[in-house]
Amino acid sequence: MKKSVFNLILLVVIFHSSAVLPQVEEKYSETQIIGDLIVAINAEDSAALDEFILKYVKNKDGASFTKSRMERFMVITGGVDYKGIYDSENPVDNETILKVKGKNYNLPRTLFLVYESSLKQSLREVDFGLYRKVDQPISEESMLQEVKVLMENLSEKDLFSGAVLIAKKDSILYTRAVGEASKRFHVDNRTDTKFNLGSMNKMFTSLAIMKMVEKEQLGLDETIDKYLDESWLPKAITEKVTIRHLLSHSSGLGSYFNPTFFGSSRDKFISLQDYKPLISNETLAFVPGERFQYSNTGMFLLGVILEKVSGKDYYRFVREEIFEPVGMENTDSYRMDHPVENLAIGYSKADNELGYENNILKHVLRGGPAGGGFSTVEDLHKYALALTNEKIVGKTLLEMMWNDYYNTNNYGYGFKVEDYDNEKVVGHSGGFYGISADLSIFTRSGYIAVVLSNYEGGEQVAHKFTHMLLSVAD
C-alpha cells in the first residue's frame, strides 16, 4: 500500500514538473533559414510559404506581415536567384540583407530578414526592397540591348502591356509598344497611345500651384481656410493646414478613395465640386507638418484652390498653363464616357474564363488634381525636357520641389525625389486597378525614362530601367 502511494506521488510530481517547465524553442542556423526561404519563394506555392512561416516566424503579427509581403514578392519576381548577403553601410545587429535577382524582370532585389535577436536563430519578419547599388558599370549600348531583350521577354510572357521610352535629353534612344489597348477589339498599343497616369497628375497640379507662387498669387505658408469654405472642411482643420503642407503630403489628411467612393456610381464625380461628400468628413491624422503621409485629398484640394484663385476650371487652367505651352497634344483628363481616340483600357488579372477584367467600373470617370489623367510616352518626354530646361517654372522653384523634406519618403512637392551618390532622379509614378505609370528624370546624366502600362506591374519595368540607367558609365 505504501509503495502504491509513493508511486502515485511520484507520478504527480513528474506530471507537475513537465507542465511548468518552459518549452525549449528549436534554434536554427542562419544558413538553414536563408536556404529554406529561397526554396519557398521559388516553389511559387503558398503552401511552401506557409510551411516556412510556421517553422521560422513565431510572432503572429510578423507571420501575417511576412506572408502578405512574400506572396506579393513571389508574384513580382516569378522566383529568384540567390546572389549572397549584402553588406549594408549601416548594419543592424538583428537584421540580414540578402541580394537576389528576380526572374521575371532580371531585376536585383533585397530581402530583409529581421530576427527576434542578434543571435539570428528565430525570425520576426521578412520584407523586400530594391537594390540600387551599381556593382558593375555598363555601356549605353549594352543597356539598350538589355532593354530590347527585356521587352521581348515581357511581351512573350504577357507580363507587360503598354509603351516605354528611354531618351538622353532630346535624343530618343529607344521606344516600344507591346500588348493591346483593347482586348475586346484586339487593338494594339502604340507609342502614341494615351495611357492612364494614375497619381502622375500630382506633378501637374503642383507645378500649376508653383506657377502661382512664382507670380506671387499664392503663398506657400498661407493657410487654406483663405480659399476653402466649411462645405469642404471645418475651419478648425483648414486654419491649421498650409499650401506647403498639401504639396509635401504633410497635412495629416487622408484619401477620398474611401468606402463611399467605391460604393457610388462613378458618374457622380465629374467636377471638383462633386467630391465634397467624399472629403467633408475627413479628420487630421496628426498635427500638420509633423510628418509625411501620402494624401490624395491634400493634392485634390490644391486643385480646388487653383480654381478659386484663377477663376478658371481646373482642367482648363492646367491645359493652358502646362500642356499647351509644352506641346502635349495628347495629354488631358479625358472622360471615360467620351469616345476619345487611341485611348488604352486598363486590365487586371482575373479568375474568369478570359483571364482579365477591365477597370472601367473601378476607376474615376474623369481624372483630377490627384490623379487619373492620360498621356503618351512622347508627350511625357516633351514635358521632362520642358521641366529640366526651366520652361514651366524657374530653377529656384524646381530645386524647392525636388528636395526630400522628410528624408526617408523620397518625396518633395508633388514629385518623387531619389538621391543617389552621383545622381538625382525626379518624377512621379502612378497606379490603380489595371494601370501603372512612371516618369523618371535623371537630372545629372540627362536620361529620361517613361513607362506607361494598361496592366498593373509596370512599375517593375520602371525599376529595372532605373537600375540600368544608374549603371551606365559616363
| pLDDT, tens only, 57-92 | 999 999 999 999 999 999 999 999 999 999 888 899
Mean pLDDT of 274-290: 96
What string of H, E and C letters represents the secondary structure of the chain? CHHHHHHHHHHHHHHHHHHHCCCCCCCCCHHHHHHHHHHHHHHCCHHHHHHHHHHHECCHHHHHHHHHHHHHHHHHHCCEEEEEEECCCCCCCCEEEEEEEECCCCCEEEEEEEECCCCCCCEEEEEEEECCCCCCCECHHHHHHHHHHHHHHHHHCCCCCEEEEEEECCEEEEEEEECEEECCCCEECCCCCEEECHHHHHHHHHHHHHHHHHCCCCCCCCEHHHCCCCCCCCHHHHCCCEHHHHHCCCCCCCCCCCHHHHCCCHHHCCCHHHHHHHHCCCCCCCCCCCCCCCCHHHHHHHHHHHHHHHCCCHHHHHHHHHHHHHCCCCCECCCCCCCCCCECCCEEECCCCCCEEECCCCCCCCCECCECCEECHHHHHHHHHHHHCCCCCCHHHHHHHCCCCCCCCCECCCCEEEEECCEEEEEEEEEECCEEEEEEEECCCCEEEEEEECECCHHHHHHHHHHHHHHECC
pLDDT (0 to 100) of residue 394:
96
| pLDDT, tens only, 414-459 | 999 999 989 999 999 999 999 999 999 999 999 999 999 999 999 9
- pLDDT-derived band at 6 (thresholds 50, 70, 90) equals very low
- pLDDT-derived band at 9 (thresholds 50, 70, 90) equals very low
Query: Residue 14 pLDDT > 50, yes or no?
Result: no
| pLDDT, tens only, 115-135 | 999 999 899 999 999 998 999
Average pLDDT, the chain: 93
- pLDDT-derived band at 21 (thresholds 50, 70, 90) equals very low
| pLDDT, tens only, 324-339 | 999 999 999 999 999 9
pLDDT (0 to 100) of residue 7:
52
Query: Residue 15 pLDDT > 60, yes or no?
Result: no
Query: Residue 39 pLDDT > 50, yes or no?
Result: yes
Query: Residue 2 pLDDT > 60, yes or no?
Result: no
Mean pLDDT of 5-32: 57
Residue % of the chain over a pLDDT of 90: 88
Mean pLDDT of 289-302: 97
| pLDDT, tens only, 83-118 | 999 988 889 999 999 999 999 999 999 999 999 999
pLDDT (0 to 100) of residue 370:
97
More confident residue, 26 or 358: 358
| pLDDT, tens only, 179-196 | 999 999 999 999 999 999
- pLDDT-derived band at 11 (thresholds 50, 70, 90) equals very low
- pLDDT-derived band at 8 (thresholds 50, 70, 90) equals very low
Q: Minimum mean pLDDT among 158-167, 346-355, 381-390: which range?
A: 346-355
